[in-house]
């Protein structure tokens, strides 16, 4: 669990970083703190071994919210291939997410639009139920 003096942020995860998935966020240290289940406005696409979200577009995407430290955020940026110039596989965004009746600003890793060509939509917005 993060120490009190460590700065923390929240992250919304919707694919392989979810509990029990191949890249389960619990493998990172310091251990991310589960805040709760959530869903956000967006569409989810099947990229083969993992999904990608596009924010907005009127759908809902199911996921989980965690409190993370800067060290975990940096590790997630590497996993998601975030580039400062926006050319990486994912782009990091911050959006409000309702969790248990509370609005939290959460990081969301949004897929770069160029990666979506020919990729099918995951109807229902849940990676686990594809």
- Residue position matching structure tokens 């939290």: 104
5 is catalytic: no
Tokens of 125: 């917005």
CA pair distance 75, 104, nearest whole angstrom: 21
- Given the residues 6, 64, 73, 80, the one annotated as active site: 80
Where helices occur in 1-130 by DSSP H, the ranges are 70-79
Pick from 87, 63, 85, 84: nearest CA to 12? 63
Residues serving a catalytic function are 80
């Amino acid at each position: 669990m993060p120490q009190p003096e460590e700065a923390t942020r929240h992250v919304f995860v919707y694919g392989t970083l979810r509990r029990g998935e191949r890249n389960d966020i619990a493998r990172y240290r310091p251990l991310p703190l589960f805040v709760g289940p959530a869903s956000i406005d967006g569409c989810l696409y099947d990229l083969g071994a993992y999904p990608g979200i596009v924010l907005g577009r009127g759908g809902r995407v199911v996921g989980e919210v965690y409190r993370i430290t800067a060290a975990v955020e940096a590790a997630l940026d590497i996993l998601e291939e975030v580039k400062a110039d926006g050319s990486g596989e994912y782009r990091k965004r911050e959006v409000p997410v309702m969790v248990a009746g509370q609005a939290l600003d959460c990081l969301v890793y949004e897929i770069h639009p160029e990666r979506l060509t020919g990729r099918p939509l995951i109807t229902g917005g849940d990676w686990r139920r594809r």
